Amino acid sequence: MLLQLSIHHLALIDEMTIDFAPGMNVLTGETGAGKSIVVDAVNLVLGERAAKELISAGEMKARVEAVFDITDNAQAKALLSEMELDAEDDIASISRELTSAGKNICRINGTVVPLAKLRQISAQLLDIHGQHEHQLLLDSRNHVGYLDGYAADEIGPLLEKTQQLYGEWRGIKTKLERMRKSVAEREQRIDMLRFQYDELKNARLIADEEIELERQKVFYRNAGKITSAFEEAAALLLGGAVDSGAVDMLRESVEALSPVAALDEKYEAIYARLDGLYYELEDAARDLSALSDEMEFDEEEADRVEARLDLLRRLSRKYGPSTREMIRYRDSISAQLEEMEDSDGAMERLEKELRQATKALKAVSEQLTQARMEAAKRFEKSIETQLRDLGMKNVRLAMDFAPLGEGERFWERFSAQGVDQIEMLFCANLGQPMRPLAKVASGGELSRIMLALKNLLAQKPGIPRSMVFDEIDTGISGRTAQVVSEKMTQIGDHHQVICVTHLPQIAAMADEQFLVRKHDINGVTRTVVLRLDEQQRAQELARMVGGADCESETSIRHAYTMLEDAKSRKKALREAFAGQA
């Protein structure tokens, strides 16, 4: 439940914290006192549109924080856990800060979150009913939701199954439609992919072959230079028919040192070095000779290497910078071709899947429709009972299920909510036909219908623990106002109710009453919210009843009487409810 609402620099409020009590809380005050500011604060927590104009004049930012006790709110706990925003000690804090620069900072349990997450969480914690919500009743697309909420136990599982099957059906249908529309495009793409595949396949690519080809290209382009270098080096080492080469000369130098090598360690060392060099040089000379003999320049092979490299370069510009990437692309094309060339078979399989999915979705949609029709009978009676209590003694209400139109096929109505198009039909007077609610209901009637819905749904699962009613008393008075107050009391037994009202009958039934009023401080007008004690409540009720003598002893005494009568009615209502339970 909403335990605390803190407001900082919002409109005419500087700093204020309101601790709401369990049960029914009312906010009263003269017109223009600032009750709407409190509602604006609640709307900000719910994630409604935030305007910079809400920031108090002269301030750079405004902030609203709501603190909730979620001990008994399993849905909120689960959602917070899913978002990794677990509430310590089952306390959830939601805050929103507006700046004059247009920034909008949302926090849940101290962690900055997107506005969408704030809305998602606050929807599990708080529900606000204002005059604007009547507009929801004017859109017949919302009517099925009220019926589903009323009969959630039996409709919920079917609705969940319908949503699952609809998602599967829609996915198959979309894929099949896309496949059918792209037949011509598919044929063109197959031709293009087939050309690319054949080109790459005929190239007989080998991974990394370009590395070896580049090495061979370097060899063939420098073959003459390499041969000349080998021959000249070999001649210098081995000599010719006339002169001696470096090997022979080194051998002679080793033999010249041989007689004296043993005479001194230094002679022995130089002798050993030259002797080692002789054998190494001799090996190198033989290798040069062998390389020179092996040198063969094949002009045709050189041309083949150049041509192969040229082919790989041309292919790389289209299919990838290396043979490895071109091979991967070739294999990818092969897989695409296999899938696309099997499209006829795939289309047949999808058509079969669509028929099966359509059959399954139609079956569960029909079950959902039947469940809704059965629930609608109870729903209509329950709403009519509530509305008669609210002074509409001749009211009639029906949930109208639109049949399929001429030529309309069942599957054309498929949606995640089933196939039903439901509209509330309404009549408040005898002798008149029932007509669509949006066309005949007045503002006051819409207000009472919405209250009746809230009262019916208050005990259903998934309804937020705290509910705010903003001037739901519009268009009612007298006995009807008394019944509205009793309905609000009943809701307050299951939920925390926060109600903005002008009616003394509703204010008297509250468990806690808060007075919203303006006062001037140093020439500046500010709004404050005060929790009223019993004496202050009597004074406020006397003002609400009105009259020139609202502060007279008689008016105050009458107000006390109203409070005592309200206590008796609340006790009787709760005893009656307990007896029914």
Per-residue pLDDT of the chain (581 residues; tens, 9 = 90+): 466 888 888 888 888 899 998 889 999 988 878 888 888 888 888 888 888 888 888 888 999 998 988 887 877 888 888 888 877 888 889 999 998 888 889 999 989 999 989 988 888 888 887 655 666 778 888 899 889 988 988 999 999 999 999 999 999 999 888 777 766 677 778 888 888 888 888 888 888 888 888 887 777 777 667 767 766 676 666 665 556 677 777 777 777 777 777 777 887 888 788 788 878 887 887 777 777 666 666 677 777 877 888 888 888 888 888 888 888 888 888 888 877 766 667 778 888 999 999 999 999 999 999 999 999 999 999 999 988 888 788 999 999 999 888 888 888 888 889 999 999 999 998 888 999 998 888 877 887 888 888 888 776 665 667 888 886 776 667 777 788 888 888 888 888 889 888 889 999 999 999 999 888 877 788 888 999 999 999 999 988 887 556 778 888 888 899 999 989 988 888 877 666 65
**pLDDT at residue number 161:** 94
Greatest Cα pair distance in the chain: 150
User: Dihedral of CA 131/499/528/40: which sign?
Assistant: negative
Task: Give the tokens for residue 350.
Answer: 């999808």
- Round to whole Å and give the CA distance between 88 and 83: 14
How far, in Å, are 275, 408, 553 from residue 403 at the CA level?
Answer: 112, 10, 64
Query: Contact, 23 vs 452, CB < 8 A?
Result: no
Measured in residues, the chain has a length of 581
Query: Contact, 518 vs 525, CB < 8 A?
Result: yes
Strands 61-69 and 2-10: antiparallel
Superfamily of domain 1-129+471-581: P-loop containing nucleotide triphosphate hydrolases (3.40.50.300)
Query: Contact, 560 vs 537, CB < 8 A?
Result: no
**pLDDT at residue number 551:** 73
Hey, where are the domains in the chain? Answer: 1-129+471-581, 209-321
How far, in Å, are 276, 359, 394 from residue 197 at the CA level?
Answer: 60, 42, 79
- Round to whole Å and give the CA distance between 124 and 1: 10
Query: Contact, 452 vs 398, CB < 8 A?
Result: no
Query: For the purposes of burial, counting CB atoms within 10 Å of the CB of 569, is it exposed (0-12), middle (13-18) or buried (19 or more)?
Result: middle
Helix ranges restricted to H, 222-298: 223-238, 246-257, 265-294
Query: What are φ and ψ of residue 395, in 5° steps?
Result: -70, 145
**pLDDT at residue number 2:** 64
- Round to whole Å and give the CA distance between 43 and 304: 79
Strands 91-99 and 61-69: antiparallel
**pLDDT at residue number 223:** 66
Q: Is the pTM of this model over 0.85?
A: no
Task: Give the tokens for residue 258.
Answer: 């041989």
**pLDDT at residue number 316:** 84
**pLDDT at residue number 378:** 95
